[in-house]
Amino acid sequence: INMVSNVNIVGQGEGVTILDAQQTGRVIVIEELIGVSISDLTVLNGFADSFFPFNSGGGIFIDFSHIVLSNLEITGNHADVHGGGLYLDHSNVNMNSIVIKENSAFDFGGGFFAQYSDPIMENITIENNECIISSSKLYSFDKSTPDTLCLATNCSNFDNCFDFSLFKSITNPKSEFDP
C-alpha cells in the first residue's frame, strides 16, 4: 500500500484485519507524508529487496513523514538490508501498543531500524527478531543529535538491543536479560 497524506487506516483489530504482502513486496510505504494514522491491524509477510531504498522496511517503510501507529502487530517481514519489520528515516512517529516480532533483516534492525528520526514509543514489545550479520534486533542511528532520538515508555522485551545510548529517554525498559 502506497499511502497518501491525511488518510487513516483503521482495522478491526490485530489478528482480525491482516495486511499480508505474501513476500511479494513491502506491506506499507509512507514517504513524505503528514496526517497518516494506521491502527488496529497486523502487518504480515512484507519483503524488501533490490537496491536502496527498496531493500529496507519489509513491513512498514517510513521516510520523511509525521505519522501515528497504534495497536499493531508487525510480524513475519524481511528486509535485505535494514528494518525487517519497521524502518524509519527522518521521520517523527508516535507509536503506541505495538508488537514487533519474528521479523528479519540481513544487516541492522531485524525488527526495527531508525535513523535521523524522533519516534515516541509507548507500550512497545520487540521480540524474537533476527539479523543475519549483526546482533541488533533494534537499531538506532543518529550521529548528529544522539540525545534527541527517541522517547520510550513502558516498553518490553527489547531483546539484544544494539545501543540504548542513542535514546534520549527510556522509561521502564524491560529486557529478556533483566532479573
Is the pLDDT at 12 greater than 70? The verdict is yes
90: left (phi over 0), alpha (psi -120 to 50) or beta: left
As to burial, measured by CB atoms within 10 angstroms (0-12 exposed, 13-18 middle, 19+ buried), residue 46 is buried
pLDDT given at position 134: 62
When pLDDT is averaged across residues 67-81 and rounded to a whole number, the result is 96
Q: Collapse the DSSP code of 177 into the 3-class scheme (helix H, G, I; strand E, B; otherwise coil) and give the result.
A: coil
Sign of CA dihedral 175, 88, 85, 136: negative
Question: Which of 8-17, 62-71, 136-145 bottoms out in mean pLDDT, i.e. has the lowest?
Answer: 136-145
DSSP per-residue string spanning 27-72: SEEEES-EEEEEEEEEEE--EE-SSTTTTS-SSEEEES-EEEEEEE
pLDDT given at position 129: 85
- Check: CB of residue 100 under 8 Å from CB of residue 119: no
Average pLDDT of the chain to the nearest whole number: 78
Is the pLDDT at 67 greater than 60? The verdict is yes
- Higher-pLDDT residue of 156 and 175 is 156
Residue 146 CB coordination number (10 Å): 14
Is the pLDDT at 169 greater than 70? The verdict is no
Give the residue among 2, 48, 50, 42 at the shortest CA–CA distance from 23: 48
pLDDT given at position 178: 33
Residue 12 CB coordination number (10 Å): 9
- Higher-pLDDT residue of 105 and 70 is 70
Is the pLDDT at 29 greater than 60? The verdict is yes
Question: Which of 23-32, 34-43, 51-60 bottoms out in mean pLDDT, i.e. has the lowest?
Answer: 51-60
As to burial, measured by CB atoms within 10 angstroms (0-12 exposed, 13-18 middle, 19+ buried), residue 122 is middle
